[in-house]
Amino acid sequence: MTAPTQATSTTPLFSATLKPERSLHAAGGWVGLVLAGIVGTPFLIAMPEFLFPGLAAFGLAGGGLGALGIRQGRLKRQSQAISVWPDQLELVITGPGQQKQLRRFDSKAIRIRLVRDGYERTTAIFLRHAEEEVELGGFLSVDDKSSFAKAFGSALRQARRSI
């Protein structure tokens, strides 16, 4: 006869999945390019000597916006999942073209290093473990970094006290 298995209902002290901002910055560029085309077309027709430079400028702008859209599409597939347990911190990093990477750290050995600007806003969050540093949420906005750093720091302090 086998012993019954015990189901664990342990939940982490803190858990968050960080993903890049999903705003439509490139869409505004396309709208601006279309509006410039509507306004500029009569001038290009009226002055044929500007036709080639004008079309070249529109082509370069369209290519730049296309490259920006591709880059943003790749960034959107990037994420970091952070879980703080009483005895350890788990970090799962995923990104385009790379395998999922799971890293575990001792809650007592890890330190947070915040980089702030002149207005005391958090501009970068680093986990420091021995000789190594890992940046958390480098793709987040400044406001998101500040609120994440506050919640993450208090969860890490709680984990250190619970051991």
Q: Is residue 115 part of a domain?
A: yes
- Same domain flag for 72 and 99: no
* Residues 135, 139: Cα–Cα separation, whole Å: 10
Which pTM does this prediction carry?
Answer: 0.63
Tell whether 65 and 55 lie within a shared domain. yes
CA separation for the pair 130, 133 (Å, rounded): 8
- 155 and 112 assigned to the same domain: yes
CB 18 within 8 A of CB 136: yes
Expressed in percent and rounded to 5, the helix, strand and coil fractions of the chain are 45, 30, 25
Query: Helices 51-76 & 25-46, crossing angle to 10 degrees?
Result: 170
| pLDDT attached to residue 126 | 94
Q: Tens digits of per-residue pLDDT, 96-136?
A: 777 889 999 988 888 999 999 888 889 999 999 888 899 99
pLDDT tier, 92 (very low <50, low <70, confident <90, very high otherwise):
very high
Summarize the confidence of residues 30-57 as an average pLDDT.
Answer: 79
Whether 32 is in a domain gets the answer yes
